[in-house]
Amino acid sequence: MRFTFLLLLFLSTQSYAQDNLLLHQLEVLAADSMMGRGYGANDKAQAYIVQQFEDIGISPAFDGEYKQPFEYKDKAGNNIAGIIEGKLKDIIVITAHFDHLGEKDSKIYNGADDNASGTVALFQIASHFLENQPKHTMVIAAVDAEEVGSGGAEYLLNNFPLSVDDIVLNVNLDMIAHNDNRELYACGTYFYPQLKSPLENIKSDIELKFGHDAPSYKGADNWTYASDHRVFHRKEIPFVYFGVEDHNDYHKPSDTFDNINQKFYIKAVDLIVDAIDKLDNTEDLK
């Protein structure tokens, strides 16, 4: 009985520390000192992401380097990625863009939800699968230049460190920290219905919903090409995009750490880790 109590206490303490680290990392990446992480001017954010990957211990993806330099729209950018070797050569690519809108009219666009939230989630995902070897090999990539046309994701796919033919799934995270209704969406199952079953009945304090991908969703409500997953979808690589619906702080200076839903964010990241676990253990993802 005493052992069980001590075990529960240890697990609770470990979870508390993990949640605090997650929030701390998000607060740092969305701080004013990052100057909004604008494409072509986000070196400080890049350095922070590289440091987190180094601290986690994930293997660099690009010939011993975490950074993958590229040029897009006359500016220099960098993707930052690591690899976790799985039991299979089949690959799941997990992406989140770290760039945002930078500074405009002397106002900093911090992009806490868009998309420091997805980027920081990569750290917890990497930690989980380093401790629990995945079935699929995983490439975990913080990509640049999403806000100006997905230049980083396109370069990553066209200059992939492993065989592109082995990619069976893209999981993309973009805006996962701000929803007052405690709802997170998984977009993509309209096109790839084989991905829906593993995501159903996930136990969580927040609700995972499906949609925003069928032709009935018009305009901005259709997320099929709303973020970096579009690059994979155009090459007929299945995707699941996790995100929240637009909120009042979307693409505004008010998208700050103070305005996210902290408890929701913690639960969203937990849910996504669980979802990737289930997808990883699903056969015939493609």
Residues of the chain short of pLDDT 70, as ranges, are: 1-14
Q: Hey, which residues does 186 pair with through a beta bridge? A: 210, 242
Domain assignment present for residue 285? The answer is no
Domain assignment present for residue 72? The answer is yes
Taking each helix axis as running N to C, give the angle between helix 117-131 and helix 43-56, from 0 to 180 degrees, rounded to the nearest 10: 20
- The set of residues, in sequence order, having a beta carbon less than 8 Å from that of 84 and lying 6+ positions away, is 58, 59, 126, 129, 130, 133, 134, 137, 138, 140
Domain assignment present for residue 25? The answer is yes
Domain assignment present for residue 177? The answer is yes
Position 249 scores a pLDDT of 98
Cβ(243)–Cβ(223) below 8 Å: yes
As for how many domains the chain has, the answer is 1
**Tokens of residue 91, six digits:** 């690959």
CA distances 278 to 89, 170, 196, 205, Å, are 18, 14, 11, 18
Return the closest-CA partner of residue 187 out of 235, 141, 220, 148.
220
Domain span including residue 272: 2-280
Domain assignment present for residue 286? The answer is no
The one-letter amino acid code at 264 reads: F
Return the closest-CA partner of residue 208 out of 236, 189, 232, 228.
189
> Quick one: which H or E segment has residue 26?
helix 2-29
Position 12 scores a pLDDT of 53
CATH number at residue 54: 3.40.630.10
Domain assignment present for residue 248? The answer is yes
Cβ(210)–Cβ(133) below 8 Å: no
